[in-house]
Structure formats: C-alpha cells, structure tokens
Structure 1
C-alpha cells in the first residue's frame, strides 16, 4: 500500500479522520429524510431512506485529501455508487455536471458542491454509510461525519466536494458553483494541482 500512496503538495498524512463542518449537525429522522434526483432529467425521482438503502452496495478504499492540508490514506467505505443512482433516471442531452446537495443549518438542501459527471462513474464515488481503516473495524458514520449518508468523492478532489448529510443530486448542463465555490474556493479542486482557491 505504501508504495502507491501519493501525498498531494502542501498536505500532511494523518491516521485520524478530522471533523470539520459549518453549521449544526443534522439529526437524522427516517420519516422526513429523502433524496431527490432533479435538474436536467426527464423525470425527477425521490427516494425514501429505505429505498435508497435497498440499492446495491459497493465496498471501496478511497484516499481523502482535505483542503485544510490533511490527507488520510486507505479508508474503506461501504455505500451506493453514484453510477447506481444514474440507473434510476434518464438524463437530458448535454448533462456534464452535477451538484450534490446536503443539509446545512436547518435546510436539507442548504449545502451543495459541484462536480463533473464523467469523474463520478467509478467505484470511488460513493454515498457511504459505514467505514473502516487499519485502526477501526466497520462502524457507522458518526453524525459529525455525515450520518446517515455522505458522499465520498474520488481522491482527485478535495474533500469539501464530499457533501455530508446528503439530500439530492442536481444534474446540470453547465458548471455552477456550490457552497464553498461561491466563497472563492476552486471549482475543480484537484489536490494534486493544489487547486484550493480560485
């Protein structure tokens, strides 16, 4: 494993999974939780928590790189791949981008992060509910890490693209800034190119 690790510039390695978020922590209520696929789609689809969790699961190991300069290697997640959700909808012509929405300060759709669609089709784009690493056996996400479900992006993106307390995916033809991008963070956020800010 060590031979494969690549630490992006300006990052340090940690065994811990630091917790960083803005606003309060979402309190999960299965009765009010839902997840909507919307935007440039032929027909919107909304899933209940039970419907979401019935989708096929994938286990994948992903490296995480936070813009605050920590990197954590070799965390294994179980979740539902982004591409699994694509099977539930028909996209309009010309969709190239998405925004992944999540909870922020009382609003289930208060946060979002933008990403290019083509980069999200592998096993390393997951809506995760549990994790493990060399120091922890399988455990559910902590509420502060995004319980019951958070998005983990491929390691070619800084972790702010990994929306916590997810609530939906908006499909877009043109790229649109999300929560942090509107405040001056990079639209593309590649840690290996140190794309922290615009």
Structure 2
C-alpha cells in the first residue's frame, strides 16, 4: 500500500471519540466538523462548523443545516444516508457495501463523489483502528490514543486524511461514522 508524503496529511482531532457526539477539528484550523445526535433521536448529523470546538462543546449552537444526515432505525440498524445540499438519500447498506458476499461487516466499500471506490477495514494495519484505501493507496486512517499514552489538552484520537483525498473529508467522516456504528452494534 502506498502512502502520500506525511507532509501532506490533514490531521483531524476527534475531540471525544464518541461515535455520535464529537468534533473533528483540523489541527491547522482548515476544517471543523461536528458529529451530533440529539437526545432520544435516531439520526446523527454532521455539520460544518466555522470555528474549532472548545472544551465546552455546546458553546456553539447548531443553527445551520447539516451537511450529512445518518438516519438509523430505532433498533440502531442501518437506515439512510442523506446529503441535503445535493438532495440525495441512499440506503446505508447500498452506500457502504460489504467488500464480499460472505465477508465480514467491518470491511466495506463506497463510491466517493469523485467516482472512485474507497474501502474501509478495521485493524488491518498495526496501530490504525480503521484504514481507508483506494486502488492500493492509503487515503485515511483513524487512530485511537493508546491507553498508556498521556495527552495534555487533546483527546489523542485522530483521523488522518492524505492531501489528495482531503476534498472527500466529509464523505470520509460520514462513512467512518457508519463503520464505527456497525462495529459498536455488531451489524
């Protein structure tokens, strides 16, 4: 698998590591995404924020329209993914398909807005919780902070997206959120 130079990687800190309640803030202030699920709701929304989240996440009200809506069913099974601006809604099982008929749920692929096929796998690369690839290129990886590592003022959890694929950051965060949901609920 080929990786792009580490100088050209966007590092988004996952502030809480909670699947449906976190912020993904670029460490160089280029992109801020919030993943949020209202209490007692089955929909998880992704918002593009104007500023980095603070330690007090609720200090920035969610007044804008979400850029992605992940509608899960009441029993947390896969529902639909919607991109409101594009007015596109697709069943998650069709958007994020298993890589093989009899393969596990934690290896899935999706077609990005650029027409390429991207694949998510869990634990296939040492040190990476989730790995996204396309055509033998490393696209992104999600890493949880090792339990023994001390951090100061950060969560230590990161999503790294390689520069050529940064225009797909929203799709990468959305598909990663679904993959983590699948793992959490053993779907």
- Higher RCO (CA 8 Å, separation ≥ 6 residues): 1
> Normalised by the size of structure 2, how large is the TM-score?
0.29
> Normalised by the size of structure 1, how large is the TM-score?
0.28
